[in-house]
Structure 1
Amino acid sequence: MNACLAMIAAVMVAAMPAMAADRVTGKPFATRSEVYAPHAMAATSHPLATQIALDVMRAGGSAVDAAIAANAALGLMEPTGNGIGGDLFAIVWDPKTQRLHGYNGSGRSPRSLTLAEFERRGLKDIPSHGPLPVTVPGTVDGWFALHERFGRRSMAENLAPTIRYAREGHPVHEVIAYYWDRSVPRLSRWPGFTEQFTIDGRAPRTGETWRNPYLADTLQAIAEGGRDAFYKGDIARTIGDYFAANDGFLSYEDMAAHTGDWVDPVSTNYRGYDLWELPPSGQGIAALQILNLLEPYDLASHGFGSPEHVHLFVEAKKLAFADRARWYADPAFHPAPVAKLISKEYARDRGQLISMERALREVQPGTPAQLDEGDTIYLTTADADGMMVSLIQSNYRGMGSGMAPPGLGFILQDRGEQFVLQEGHPNSFAPGKRPFHTIIPAFVTRDGKPWLSYGVMGGAMQPQGHVQILLNLIDFGMNLQEAGDAPRIHHDGSTEPTGQATAMTDGGRVELESGFPIESVRALMRKGHRVQFADGPYGGYQAIMVNPQGGWIGASESRKDGHAAGY
């Protein structure tokens, strides 16, 4: 009965008119216009963070300085998605060297925690909250690594706006207030959370002023003492003592040993455009695999929202995610055959499993060696010299583990939940290991030149969103804002990197936002897809494109609180 009701709901929602169809421009999917600016551009999920980024670049800072400043602000203003207790990944276009640089700023599991300890506790899966899923936070290291190579202003100058807002306060925005309110009941049980992230035990309300003087003190210490103030000073000691007192394993030694890594982005070409992603431990190459599987099909002739468009996208996603579950892990422990996985040859072989008539119910991973409730922030910046930054940062599961060390003003991430408690699995838990990671920045070049810096946050939605934005731009001829506002597809239920207990056997579920034609919904059902309605799993988008006439074009997610702006 529930399945039938879900299908009826999906049909009713699909029959609703496309969003903003009455705009005078005649654009069916744009809630607002693209933003154009001649010098610099920033797109974030919070208006104040966007303004901070622009102020930094007006004052002579680089796009990297602006990205760091905006990320710091979002950690204060949008703690429902990120903070310095989480990890960071970035892709930077350097106009001087005319090349892309990638950074993996993710942390590792505590070295004193073992698989045997989980077995001793009788656990089959790692808990979603509390001390056990916590891994070393990599964001601050990522800031300083990026700044050392590409920064122009001091880190103290970059962090100053957030320190001021943390002390003086800022009004909480609508979407953030909604998710904050949902987080408080499940996280208040963990020590330090209620004292530092509620107002008299409740979440701040929309428009209410929020202050975080503890975070101001932490950021001030980082501004004055640099990276080591976080990883080797009193902050790290406070973290270690807190976990020792609360049944945890993250230690001062784990913090002091942390290092991030510069990595080379990898790419595939889709109809003349090169999409660049970071290699595992993240899931970025899933987007490359999906594009390779879709390239042989003439999606433009089928049209946006057609049953063929949705069906082919979902089937390609299923195939890529089967490989994601099998091959994506910390390369220091289990190197993935990345070159094979993203090759056109491998896509041609795997693509033979796609039928235009029937939906796949079960998918086994390929053998290339032989040939997500997560919430996140994404931001992008571009400066007057042509530098572009694609940056994504997260605590995982919204506000993270709930573990908030006293007096520091931030929550530690729960990324360790992504490990598998299964001996021999590529993503099996091990001490000092990076878990499989969902957060991924993206970048597109054309003929070796920068074209687009963008991202779509939201757990397993991220590679799905990366692909859909490009299809909207390249195949369906949308502009940058339309491409983000157009209704999205979210397929759920694929085999996950967390073990065979989550293997797909029923084809999963296709969730469609409002705006898809009722005829497409019916046709998808006839092909065997389970179509249903869902609120909210469609991600959050920010983008900056090079304007061929000079300057920048910006776009921002209509489903979030932020905006794109430039000067």
Structure 2
Amino acid sequence: MAQTKPTEPFHMMDFRSRRSPVLGTRGMVASSQPLASEAGMRILQQGGNAADAAVAMAAALNVTEPCSTGIGGDAFCLFFEASSKKVTAMLGCGRSPAGLTLEEVRKRGIGGPELPPGSALCVTVPGAPALWEDTVKTFGRLDLKQVLQPAIELAEEGFPVAPVTAYHWQAASMELRGPGKAAFLNPQGRAPGAGEIQKNPDLGRTFRSVAEHGAHEGFYKGRIAKAIVAALDKEKGVMTADDLAQHRSTVTRPIHTTYRGYTIYEVPPPTQGVAALMAMNSLELEGGLKGMGWGSPQHLHAAIESMRLGFVDTLQYNADPEVVPVPIDDLISKEYAKRRRAELYRPDRAAVMEPGILASPSTPPTESNEGRRSGDTVYFNVVDGEGNGCSYINSNYMGFGTGIVPEGCGFTLHNRGHNFLLDAKHPNCLGPRKWPYHTIIPGIATDPQGDLFCTFGVMGAFQQPQGHLQVISNMLDFGMEPQMALDAPRFSVYGVDSAEGPGTVRESSVLLEEGFSAGVAQGLEKRGHVVRANIGGHARAVFGRGQIIRRNPETGVLWGGSEPRADGQVIGW
């Protein structure tokens, strides 16, 4: 495969881009909240590296965008070490409680393919606090107390709520319940509006506990653990103190493939990073994308079908690899991509997608019903002046997650267990001490010499691998700089669902963001896609929110882009 090199140094500004890219040399941070970006930059300027700054941003985002993320959720990290050119994956996903069994769920009268999203049974052990600590200890230079200080100040002294966040905070506030829900409301008992000062002293105390005692003693044991168990007991959950005390982060190798000569790294299962890599393998087989014209029906059809091919197998086979066999190497191989593309891809029509048959398939395909609402997450990244890159993602899953707030803690408990199937035949079936299918995925790309090309990610439930495919293709196929790659309108294969299986790919539709040329929707409809076009306003949240920081290995110049669909900001130094 011939290697392609994006245009650089981008001599001409393309004013289709809503924002200019941000440039720097000594470090760069990007997140969906300016105050969180400032927290990360402050840590860089205090002598921290990319890992330290990323964790500072993770905590600050819990304060400033709690309707998307928090210490009561899960997180994942990819870290590029400049000195060794090595990428390491760290998994901050907690397992389901030991008492969570399919029999217990059915005994409670829960039928259908999935748990109700607000059920206390959806709460798996929060993995974020341990991952924050382990990221700093493994890769960072500062102590956790210093790294968490900016977030503690934001929580205790207050901050002005940003406009897009205020909209989503209000929309999700009805989910809040539990003895501590007042932490997320203003004195009038409602969600804060744009520009209102909001404090969360309970969360500040939680952060102080983790900073002073460490994650395991300060969160997974003691006062906070007791509050979590008590809140879940009240909601008829099954989590115990032992479930919390047993949690540990996982350090492992990332999975990867190449695209146009560049290596793309993703976190391995149980995440859907495999879907992004499969889609890239398929799209790479399509020659001459640039000749089709960006955003043309031909271009979008090729990308959409590549994504659908990635989803249908991921939804069939992806699960907890420590409980069931997941054929990762087969799924992300170039040979499998060629076979699947030959079986299903046609340039003039949308395929009827079925999972592929592997040499040792885990289970037969399952059927499905309707799609689901999108998830809420924060993706953020840092590249420091030495060229270390940290790609990080943290999530409640849906809005405030379950909305359950343990008393005196200032955070909500996520609902990641909603991603389990209630189907004993499927590898992603709900079970005790098990990871569910995970939607959140950070990304890193390296160039053909192994140097850091970019840290990147696009949050948004099942939009995430689609966002990865689109921004990487925008940069490597069409020569876009990071901000332009994020600004470009996106498509969404809408309705796919891990909790209902691969059949949702057959039933999915295509959403097109406003900004595509006239006639594109009709061109896709002629190929058999069901299309809804011109999605705008706050409904654009369905297309996800991303950040990209790219590094020139020869000059050390950093190019940053931040999501125009959010309140985000890149800060360069």
TM range (shorter): over 0.9
323, 326, 344: which one aligns with 1:333: 323
- In the other structure, the counterpart of 1:323 is 313
Aligned pair in 2 of structure 1 residues 289, 218: CA closer, same or farther (>3 Å)?
same
- In the other structure, the counterpart of 1:486 is 488
Q: How does 1:399-410 map to 2 (within 5 A)?
A: 399-410=400-411
Establish whether residue 283 from structure 1 lines up as the match of residue 272 from structure 2: yes
8 Å CA contact 1:194, 1:201 repeated in 2: no
8 Å CA contact 2:289, 2:477 repeated in 1: yes
- In the other structure, the counterpart of 2:170 is 181
Establish whether residue 116 from structure 1 lines up as the match of residue 103 from structure 2: yes
- In the other structure, the counterpart of 1:303 is 293
Offset at 1:146?
1.0
Alpha-carbon distance between aligned partners in 1 of 2:440 and 2:269, rounded to the nearest angstrom: 11
Q: How does 1:88-237 map to 2 (within 5 A)?
A: 88-124=75-111, 125-185=114-174, 187-188=175-176, 190-192=177-179, 194-199=181-186, 200-228=188-216, 229-237=218-226
Q: Find the residue that maps to 2:23 and give its secondary structure.
A: strand
Offset at 1:502?
5.2
Aligned pair in 2 of structure 1 residues 262, 501: CA closer, same or farther (>3 Å)?
closer
Establish whether residue 540 from structure 1 lines up as the match of residue 527 from structure 2: no
- In the other structure, the counterpart of 1:557 is 563
Offset at 1:196?
2.0
Alpha-carbon distance between aligned partners in 1 of 2:504 and 2:261, rounded to the nearest angstrom: 35
Establish whether residue 354 from structure 1 lines up as the match of residue 359 from structure 2: no
Offset at 1:436?
0.4
Offset at 1:523?
1.3
Offset at 1:500?
4.9
Aligned pair in 2 of structure 1 residues 311, 381: CA closer, same or farther (>3 Å)?
same
8 Å CA contact 1:130, 1:403 repeated in 2: no
Alpha-carbon distance between aligned partners in 2 of 1:501 and 1:349, rounded to the nearest angstrom: 19
The code of the aligned residue for 1:212 comes to: N
8 Å CA contact 1:130, 1:402 repeated in 2: no
What is the number of equivalent residue pairs in this alignment?
A: 539
8 Å CA contact 1:422, 1:499 repeated in 2: no
Q: Find the residue that maps to 1:420 and give its secondary structure.
A: coil
Aligned pair in 2 of structure 1 residues 30, 323: CA closer, same or farther (>3 Å)?
same
- In the other structure, the counterpart of 1:367 is 357
Offset at 1:303?
1.2
Offset at 1:211?
0.2
Establish whether residue 453 from structure 1 lines up as the match of residue 444 from structure 2: no
Aligned pair in 2 of structure 1 residues 97, 504: CA closer, same or farther (>3 Å)?
closer
- In the other structure, the counterpart of 2:35 is 48
Q: Which moved more, 1:547-556 or 1:176-185?
A: 547-556
- In the other structure, the counterpart of 2:382 is 381
Alpha-carbon distance between aligned partners in 2 of 1:96 and 1:65, rounded to the nearest angstrom: 17
Establish whether residue 312 from structure 1 lines up as the match of residue 312 from structure 2: no
- In the other structure, the counterpart of 2:62 is 75
**Cα deviations by residue, 1:353-397 (Å, 9 ceiling, x for unpaired):** 11111112x311112335962010000011122211000010110
Aligned pair in 2 of structure 1 residues 26, 262: CA closer, same or farther (>3 Å)?
closer
Alpha-carbon distance between aligned partners in 2 of 1:329 and 1:235, rounded to the nearest angstrom: 29
Q: How does 1:497-512 map to 2 (within 5 A)?
A: 497-500=498-501, 503-506=504-507, 508-512=508-512
**Cα deviations by residue, 1:218-237 (Å, 9 ceiling, x for unpaired):** 11111111122111222112
Offset at 1:94?
1.0
8 Å CA contact 2:255, 2:266 repeated in 1: yes
Alpha-carbon distance between aligned partners in 1 of 2:501 and 2:328, rounded to the nearest angstrom: 22
Offset at 1:327?
0.6
Q: Which moved more, 1:485-494 or 1:25-34?
A: 25-34
8 Å CA contact 2:158, 2:198 repeated in 1: yes
Aligned pair in 2 of structure 1 residues 326, 243: CA closer, same or farther (>3 Å)?
same
Of all paired residues, the percent bearing the same amino acid is 39
Alpha-carbon distance between aligned partners in 2 of 1:245 and 1:369, rounded to the nearest angstrom: 47
Offset at 1:549?
2.6
- In the other structure, the counterpart of 1:14 is none
Aligned pair in 2 of structure 1 residues 184, 193: CA closer, same or farther (>3 Å)?
farther
The code of the aligned residue for 1:253 comes to: D
The code of the aligned residue for 1:171 comes to: P
8 Å CA contact 2:492, 2:543 repeated in 1: yes
Offset at 1:245?
3.0
Alpha-carbon distance between aligned partners in 1 of 2:359 and 2:498, rounded to the nearest angstrom: 18
Alpha-carbon distance between aligned partners in 2 of 1:502 and 1:177, rounded to the nearest angstrom: 36
Establish whether residue 260 from structure 1 lines up as the match of residue 260 from structure 2: no
Offset at 1:139?
0.4
- In the other structure, the counterpart of 2:572 is 566
The code of the aligned residue for 2:172 comes to: S
Gaps spanning 5+ residues in structure 2: where?
1-10, 362-372
Q: Which moved more, 1:329-338 or 1:462-471?
A: 329-338
Q: Which moved more, 1:121-130 or 1:465-474?
A: 121-130
Q: How does 1:237-248 map to 2 (within 5 A)?
A: 237-248=226-237
Establish whether residue 530 from structure 1 lines up as the match of residue 519 from structure 2: no
Alpha-carbon distance between aligned partners in 1 of 2:504 and 2:13, rounded to the nearest angstrom: 44
Offset at 1:432?
0.7
Gaps spanning 5+ residues in structure 1: where?
1-23
Q: Which moved more, 1:167-176 or 1:549-558?
A: 549-558
Aligned pair in 2 of structure 1 residues 488, 193: CA closer, same or farther (>3 Å)?
farther
Stretches (4+) displaced over 4 A: none
Offset at 1:493?
3.0
- In the other structure, the counterpart of 2:6 is none
Alpha-carbon distance between aligned partners in 1 of 2:238 and 2:85, rounded to the nearest angstrom: 43
Aligned pair in 2 of structure 1 residues 504, 46: CA closer, same or farther (>3 Å)?
closer
The code of the aligned residue for 2:410 comes to: G
The TM-score, its normalising length taken from structure 2, stands at 0.92
**Cα deviations by residue, 1:36-95 (Å, 9 ceiling, x for unpaired):** 111000001111111111111111111111001111000010001100000010000112
The code of the aligned residue for 1:563 comes to: Q
Establish whether residue 442 from structure 1 lines up as the match of residue 443 from structure 2: yes
Q: Find the residue that maps to 2:172 and give its secondary structure.
A: helix
Q: Find the residue that maps to 1:96 and give its secondary structure.
A: coil
The code of the aligned residue for 1:327 comes to: Y
Alpha-carbon distance between aligned partners in 2 of 1:369 and 1:339, rounded to the nearest angstrom: 12
State the superposition RMSD in angstroms.
1.6
8 Å CA contact 2:309, 2:340 repeated in 1: yes
